[in-house]
Structure 1
Amino acid sequence: MVTKLGPIEVIVVSFPDSDFNGSIITEIQSLVDRNIINVVDGLLAKKDLDGSIELIEFEQTNLESDAAALAALVGEIHPDLISDEDVDELAAALEPGASAAILVFEHEWAKPLRNSIVDSGGVLVANLRIPGLVVDEVLTALDELSEIS
């Protein structure tokens, strides 16, 4: 079976006090330009101090400059990759007064590898992702244990 999309990942980047300065846009643009990722959907979520949530879809027109800059990074939109329920759950987890960018992106870099695996008759049986912070914590703990021994 040939698939069109590469692996999809959803990231949520929270900005306490809604202090989004747009600096991540340059790095995301670099990743898109180098065909490492393709942003396929996303939105901004803002949680007011009273707990009410505002969702700003990238497909909307008349976006504020930060939202418009993020929306400009989106390639072909695939809006069904993250459900309304998922968005509601992610937005509800925000602290009052915070905002977040919820980005759905495709790992473009993985498509040639996937095609090579398929063409060679291989089958991908597992794909695990361990966040860098977790790896750092484990390695630090192992270093501390080796110093005790």
Structure 2
Amino acid sequence: MSIGPVQMIVLGFSHPNFHGEVIAELEKLRKSDTVRVIDALAVYKDARGDLEVEHLSNLSTEEAVELGSKIGALVGLGIDGEAGMEAGAAEGAETAATTGLHAFTDADAWDIIAEIPDDSAAALLLIEHHWAVPLRDAIARAGGYRIGDGFISPLDLVEIGLATAQEAKELHDLETAAAR
């Protein structure tokens, strides 16, 4: 398993009304081998500020073990060289097999969670862009590297001719309706 570029996305939901649509779309992307959810943290904050937290992932056990092994190896390599890499790989694989792969620990998420308004929700998604593996590898073979990345606002698409002003406004309104 080659690991593709990994991205963290934080989404907010005002007065959430979940019907499983987001999970269904992530599953479609997984089945088409487009993206994999390495870890996701869904957080709901009720009107009193009390939290409900749930971890989600769509990695198979085999994928979680392999990815856990690679992450553990990298951590171990940084701590204790080659010996640490071997120990880290074994520990990462064992942990992933036993408890799954949880990149988001409660301590990692609290800074973002504290900013969630009462009676709303947030989702922290750590996704792997599996579709990008061949492209990333071709870029590396050509001596290239990533300098930056980011999502482009629909309003910015007008300037480069990819959307009309009306289309951009509709997309922008769709993306920001819940925040208003």
Quickly name the TM-score band, shorter chain normalised: 0.5 to 0.7
Per the TM alignment, residue 41 of structure 1 is displaced from its structure 2 partner at its CA by 0.6
* Residues 1:130 and 2:156 are matched in the alignment: no
Aligned residue identity for 2:149? L
Q: Distance in 2 between matches of 1:24 and 1:118?
A: 33
1:104 alignment partner in structure 2:
126
- Which AA in structure 2 matches 1:18? P
Residues 77-96 of structure 1 deviation map (CA, whole Å, 9 limit, x = unaligned): 5423x454441122222221
Q: Which has the higher helix share?
A: 2
Work out which of the residue numbers 5, 18, 21 in structure 1 matches 2:19: 21
Query: What is the alpha-carbon distance in structure 1 between the residues aligned to residue 141 and residue 31 of structure 2?
Result: 27
Q: Which runs of 5+ in 2 are unaligned?
A: 65-99, 166-180
- 3-state DSSP class of the match of 1:93? coil
State the distance in 2 between where 1:114 and 1:106 align. Answer: 12
Percent of aligned pairs with the same amino acid: 27
Which of 1, 9, 12 lines up with 1:11 in the alignment? 9
Q: TM-score, normalised by structure 1?
A: 0.67
Distance 2:15 2:53 in 1: 16
Q: How many residue pairs end up in the alignment?
A: 124
Q: Is the Cα contact below 8 Å between 1:46 and 1:91 reproduced in 2? A: no
Q: Where do residues 67-86 of structure 1 align in structure 2 (5 Å cutoff)?
A: 71=57, 73-75=58-60, 76=64, 78-80=101-103, 82=104, 84-86=106-108
Query: C-alpha root-mean-square deviation of aligned residues, in Å?
Result: 2.7
